[in-house]
Structure 1
């Protein structure tokens, strides 16, 4: 299996785990010193993600147009177009937030496999109600 394939499988697992709210699997896909979603450290990254998704309804992180560049055998930079749909829950039922943009990730290979070290998401289009992103009620 090629390193490109392996790292893109990790990218896909991260999206699937996010949509499933599978925080245990997500933790395994993060480097201890991960940086993303406006914070540093794997536990803090997950906590930040939960402040947006625990009170949100279903989501889908659809990724494509991947570009992969290897700095070494243990470090890859991955750019992926993202189309992310969030469905409101509770008093936000019927509301949606859809984001279009590009993820800029750095992944590192560790003994357990590829883990996310750094993530940024450059939003180019947002449609809908940002209020669907919230903590559990």
Structure 2
């Protein structure tokens, strides 16, 4: 017999986590660093391929290091898989991130493709990512577009 309450909770968690991933893409593309806490827990740990770091301030610093110097970006998130358990949830999602050079709307781009593996917990503010691991699979285009952030 199906536990209707458990099924409903699982479906709501699935919807909320998918919304959280979509919100992340919009937050990062808007470079709205102050809104990272609408997706991530303050005490998160993460690894974007540069080693493990902790805290929302460190996440903001990492995002800004790569994205403040480039122009518009578009993060497309798809092929989402979510598994809920008694203590939270795990999502896996593919990401395609396109980065454009600042002040050159028809110029070169830099694309990164990979996968986010996120651990989610339900907090007072709602579902938040408490752990993110990123595995980059391919990069193409002009990497210097991101390097502009380091000038």
Verify: 1:61 aligned to 2:75, yes or no: yes
TM-score by length of 2: 0.81
Question: Gapped runs of 5+ residues in structure 1?
Answer: none
Verify: 1:125 aligned to 2:138, yes or no: yes
Verify: 1:27 aligned to 2:40, yes or no: no
Of the candidates 98, 105, 116, which is equivalent to residue 111 of structure 2? 98
Of the candidates 4, 16, 22, which is equivalent to residue 6 of structure 1? 16
Distance 1:11 1:79, change over 3 A: same
Bigger mean CA offset, 57-66 vs 98-107? 98-107
1:94-136 Cα offsets, whole Å, 9 max, x none, are 2311111111111111010111111122111110122212437
**Per-residue deviation, 1:63:** 0.6
Verify: 1:85 aligned to 2:89, yes or no: no
Bigger mean CA offset, 57-66 vs 21-30? 21-30
Question: Gapped runs of 5+ residues in structure 2?
Answer: 1-10
Q: Within 2, Cα distance between the matches of 1:116 and 1:97?
A: 26
Name the structure with the higher strand share: 1
Alignment size in residue pairs: 135
Give the conservation status (yes or no) of the 8 Å contact 1:54–1:136.
no
Q: Within 2, Cα distance between the matches of 1:66 and 1:28?
A: 19
